[in-house]
Structure 1
Amino acid sequence: MTAEPGVRVGQDSDASVVARSWDEPEAFAVLFDRHADSVYRYAARRLGAEAAEDVMAETFTTAFQVRFRYDTALASARPWLFGITTNLIGRHKRAEARRLKALGQLPSSPPGDQADGTLADRVVDRVSAQAVSCELARALSRLPARHRDVLLLVAWADLGYEEVARALGVPVGTVRSRLHRARRKVREALGGSDPTTLREESDDE
């Protein structure tokens, strides 16, 4: 038996926690305990640590306020939470663009120099050299926001296509189309490589 991310085998599903919070508001804290770290990491990669604190807090405040509208047929709340987070990040588009542009202008380090603290060299924790990372940051900065959202929800939040579709409120076909275009642009910018190592769903052919 495999539990959803952030949920141990035998624990109540996220949906059960949300439903319980309708009558017991304090139960919602369980959802925070399960997913706050991953929401924070996602926001920090996109906006930086300082802004990520605010985005994470607002994500769960918003989720709590609208919890009565949650579809309890959906066991995992991750797409819902990351959808809220992405909407909040959308209010900081200029800040994200400036961050990516600044990272893209950093001097390159020799291959093998795994300097911590930069956005691009931590993409899915699989980027191998800062020289490539700077180019990746530039490539990400040039993507339309709607394409970047899809790419990073898959690569950084580890959501599948259907989960991204739920998070953004768009059809799965739209997710596939935007992801395909984003990946093509990244590969073109990086000379054919794809350091994001995106998750592929077995049912998404």
Structure 2
Amino acid sequence: MTDTDLAAGFSQDPELFIEVHDRYFGMIYRYVAGRLGTQVAEDVASETFLVAFDRRAMFDVARGDLRAWLFGIATNLVAGHRRKEARHYRALSRLDQPVATEGHEGRVVASMASRLLSPALGKALARLSTGERHVLLLVALAELDYAEVAAALGISTGTVGSRLHRARKKLTPILAREAIDE
């Protein structure tokens, strides 16, 4: 069953929403875990699907696809945690080694954080504007394209491009310094 078929039917048959959950929960979870950590990822990912289920009658296929819609909801929920997120990146930037975490998902995220979030990069991510951080992480962690990011955040693709450009411009000197230090 395609996403379009699901979207066309889940407002009348709520049972079809189980397929949406099964298809996209893992992607949403990984994205949220990359943004907020594994401790709250399951809660926020689950809340994403609760919000989507409650708003399923308002989903408009013409505005975008299910994947982008779900990532938009998740990003809005993450925005509610943005102060915590900024503190998370500041804390990571102070650590020489990431804190060991429990469970398989925790180890995967910790491993990725140790590779991706050097202290300097953690500080830089904390300094990005919320919009720049949302765009950058939707592209980097969720692997959405410009159109999907635009649909997820309710902004134009031009805005996606400019925010991503500004974020990259801010991060490039830090990444260059990290490469020299290695």
Query: TM-score normalised to the size of structure 1?
Result: 0.76
- Contiguous gaps of at least 5 residues in structure 2: 99-105
Q: CA 1:103 to 1:119, structure 2 compared with 1: closer, same or farther past 3 Å?
A: farther
Structure 1 distance, partners of 2:168, 2:83, is 22
Match of 1:185 in 2: 170
Aligned residues of 1:40 and 1:52 also touching (Cα < 8 A): yes
Q: CA 1:17 to 1:193, structure 2 compared with 1: closer, same or farther past 3 Å?
A: farther
Correspondence 1:21 to 2:10: yes
Aligned residues of 2:32 and 2:41 also touching (Cα < 8 A): yes
Aligned residues of 1:150 and 1:175 also touching (Cα < 8 A): yes
The partner residue of 2:112 within 117, 122, 125 is 122
Q: CA 1:18 to 1:71, structure 2 compared with 1: closer, same or farther past 3 Å?
A: same
Which deviations, in whole Å up to 9, do the C-alpha atoms of 1:39-65 show, x marking residues without a partner? 011111111112111111110011111
One-letter amino acid matched to 1:83: G
One-letter amino acid matched to 1:165: A
SS of equivalent to 2:61: coil
One-letter amino acid matched to 2:42: E
Aligned residues of 2:150 and 2:157 also touching (Cα < 8 A): yes
Pairing 1:10-89 to 2, within 5 Å after superposition = 12-73=1-62, 76-89=65-78
Match of 1:147 in 2: 132
Structure 1 distance, partners of 2:27, 2:108, is 18
RMSD: 2.4
SS of equivalent to 1:191: helix
Q: CA deviation at 1:150?
A: 0.2
Counting aligned pairs with the same residue, the percent is 45
Query: TM-score normalised to the size of structure 2?
Result: 0.85
Correspondence 1:173 to 2:163: no
Structure 1 distance, partners of 2:146, 2:110, is 23
Aligned residues of 1:14 and 1:75 also touching (Cα < 8 A): no
One-letter amino acid matched to 1:106: L
Structure 1 distance, partners of 2:33, 2:64, is 26
Match of 1:161 in 2: 146
SS of equivalent to 2:65: coil
Structure 2 distance, partners of 1:160, 1:191, is 25
More helix by share: 2
Q: CA deviation at 1:182?
A: 0.3
Structure 1 distance, partners of 2:153, 2:167, is 16
- Contiguous gaps of at least 5 residues in structure 1: 1-11, 110-115, 195-205
Structure 2 distance, partners of 1:40, 1:90, is 15
Number of residues paired by the alignment? 172
One-letter amino acid matched to 2:16: A
